[in-house]
Copies of this chain bind each other. A is one copy, B any other.
């Protein structure tokens, strides 16, 4: 798009003069996201402040074949919010109203720009619970979470964003409002367009209102930290906990490199000589919590845990989870470039995947810190590097290829929770089939004939 004056005026008429940006500095601000990919500058940035303006802006973009990338907080790790060069970025940060929290019927209706943590806090203040807790929830938006099917620490027991989306109303490329889903917990009406919108990364429609399922709060919880002399012992413990039919709310793993890095980042008294840590929380009825905690402690010890420390109060519990939350920022601090992957395997394959990551780290002479959601097979191998070092970057790319290869070989998937975006679309055919890509592309081509909705993501065009 050339940001020609007449068109800019049209956008200003729809959105107001203050909500159309074309200054170089604005364009630069929205040219990248959380992924390790090259910047691409949009030609214009649009900030609708109400649904009507959003729909009209989408329609105007389509009329003029301007490519749209909708952006929440831009925390995306696979380039899902990197705009098309010369396209438009639509910001959702002025579409940030919680429209309704219905305490009788256990649902909420929100605009896409509502910040996840603020929403979760508001829900909690009404005595209810919104379980999805992606790592970026302090700043990420519900719209972004739905577009990416964001996961989080509680995925093991409570599922991911997908499991809480009851309905999505969205604009098609013509600015027509499409309604899907319901405020009822059961709905078998029409195509499951709500399900289709989840994880579609902004390529099939522009979200207007999202209806989310809420659940009653959890009455009790207990957190603990178990220290292991080897990654394998920790990985075996994870499998043994699941085999015992205990479903912890969270079951997180950290390797020695991550432990040392976190301790260096914030002196929290982590055991820096431990080869692996498991951070575990069980929740539910107080009696169940007591029993599960005792069983988990036993299982840890049977699997060679050197120690198991149970958090005795809220302060100690917060310390456990602060350590986990510190993992990514601490690792990211070490080197100029931090590649956070989320290849995911069936949980029984965690020990094998841990072995593979160790081998890959050696083979390509790379620093890989590994932490993540071991309970659901969703590890985050994190490669610390410097993209400007061409030789090392070449090895990083080979290592990533091999990580995906091995994960798929174990019956795993390319992405547990970060999505495909631009970073992984080339691998899609390895997990699915050529026919699967063609089916997806046929669908996209008819729903977005001019290809304006977040091009280049998922299916490669």
Q: Which residues of A contact B (CB under 8 A)?
A: 102-107, 127, 148-151, 155-156, 159-160, 162-163, 172, 174, 176-180, 182-196, 198-200, 204, 215-217, 239, 242-243, 245-247, 284-288, 291, 342, 344-348, 373, 376-378, 411-420, 424, 428, 431-433, 435-436, 438-440, 442-443, 445-447, 458-459
Contacts and interface: CB of A to CB of B under 8 A. Distances in A.
Given A162-B195, A377-B184, A190 B458 contact: yes
Contact of A243 (B104, B186, B194): B104
A416 B200 CA distance: 25
A274 to B, nearest CB: 26
Contact of A288 (B162, B288, B345): B288
A41 to B, nearest CB: 27
A184 B374 CA distance: 12
Given A192-B199, A195-B196, A285-B287, A186 B432 contact: no
Contact of A346 (B105, B149, B180): B105
Given A160-B186, A178-B435, A440 B193 contact: yes
B432 A190 contact: yes
Given A127-B245, A149-B188, A179-B433, 10 more contacts: A149-B192, A151-B186, A160-B188, A179-B432, A182-B344, A184-B347, A185-B377, A190-B459, A193-B440, A287-B287
30 contacts: A103-B243, A104-B239, A151-B188, A159-B185, A160-B188, A162-B192, A174-B435, A176-B435, A177-B435, A178-B432, A182-B413, A184-B347, A184-B411, A186-B344, A186-B377, A186-B378, A186-B416, A187-B415, A188-B342, A188-B415, A189-B413, A189-B414, A190-B199, A191-B196, A191-B200, A193-B436, A194-B195, A216-B246, A443-B443, A443-B446
A428 B189 contact: yes
Contacts of A177: 433, 435
A432 to B, nearest CB: 4
Nearest to A182: B413
A378 B149 CA distance: 28
Interface of chain A, helix or strand or loop or mixed?
loop
B344 A187 contact: yes
Contacts of A172: 435, 439
B104 A347 contact: yes
Contacts of A104: 239, 242-243, 346-348
Copies of this chain, count? 2
Nearest to A217: B245
Given A186-B376, A373-B186, A446 B442 contact: yes
A373 B186 CA distance: 10
A187 B413 contact: yes
Contacts of A176: 433, 435, 438-439
Contacts of A415: 187-189
Given A104-B243, A149-B192, A420-B190, A185 B413 contact: no
Nearest to A434: B176
B200 A192 contact: yes
A155 to B, nearest CB: 5
